[in-house]
Amino acid sequence: MTGTAEPEEAPGTAATTAAPTAGADAETTRRAGSDPASGSTPDPAEGPAAGSAPADRYLEAAVGLLQRARQTQAATLARAGALVADTVAGGGALFAHGAGHSSLAAQDLVYRSGGLALVNLLAVPGATGVDAVPAPFGSALERVSGLARAALDTSPARAGDLLFVVSLSGRNALPVEMASHARALGLTVIGVTSLAYARRYGATLREHCDLVLDTGIAVGDAELTDDRVAAPFAPASTVVAAALLQATVAQAVGELADRGVEPPLLRSGNVDGGAAWNERVHAAAADRVYWRHPPRPA
């Protein structure tokens, strides 16, 4: 998902309507944005009207991508939710990893009101987010072999845990080796990536995951083009990846409820009683929560 981390991707030529990056696979052409409230199914051959405002075209393209994810990933989301529920019910911890912009979706699961308290960020310093200076240094780290093994071997992750690995292209060494080594250590791995890249460049991340959620993002990650502008623009990979991850958590919560297991959910600290609720949740699952220091002895 890291556009800055994958410079080998060449943007496509400009056009007058919302469209995929030139050369993208046919199945990743922009989905239409029929009114989601109407319940109608978008026609993949259509796109937002050329004359509409760019902001409207972007939102329509994002809606189309989410509709496509709902239609094509339903069975995979059910399986992903079951894997997360199995991990939680079995006493395991949850981890999320992403580098560059891919880390945005991974971080959205951590310490999140309405989310599972057991999700921990598995970070590689310098490659998490775009806080590295200069920024291209973080992109370079994603292509360094060996960092994933070092990060996992010094982390609290262990067999029986589950790891989400988020990477738009799934091509760089860091996410690929993170998934591969995690599985070797006995973790369950769910990848979140665009299979359009695998189809064009060859399978990478998807080969090392127990399950893959396909974002359906076109190669190049830009939803809009304009014949007055030299490059395509308006990426949506973060929107779709974050939605798929939150949908997985929602499915897992439902699974746990079906099994009679209380999901360890966090509440907003900005509502009355939220902070006290979160302290109780943390205390009950402190051995699987690594985003804060352990509580002091009584």
pLDDT at 247: 98
Report the pLDDT value the prediction gives residue 130, as an integer from 0 to 100: 81
Is-contact 177 202, C-beta < 8 A?
Answer: no
Residue 49: the pLDDT is 60
What is the reported pTM?
A: 0.83
Q: What is the pLDDT of residue 212?
A: 98
- pLDDT for residue 195: 96
* Whole-number pLDDT of residue 203: 77
Query: What pLDDT, on a 0 to 100 scale, did the predictor assign at position 48?
Result: 55
Residues in the chain predicted with pLDDT less than 70, given as ranges, are 1-51, 293-298
Determine the Cα–Cα distance for residues 239 and 270; give it in Å rounded to an integer: 25
d(CA 255, CA 277): 22
CA separation for the pair 111, 107 (Å, rounded): 8
- CA distance from start to end of the chain: 44
Closest CA to 106 of 180, 65, 162: 162
d(CA 257, CA 148): 34
Q: What is the pLDDT of residue 24?
A: 39
Q: Max Cα separation, the chain?
A: 66
Q: 10 Å Cβ neighbour count for 23?
A: 13
In the chain, which residue ranges form alpha helices assigned H by DSSP? Answer: 54-72, 74-89, 102-107, 135-141, 147-153, 173-184, 195-201, 237-258, 274-284
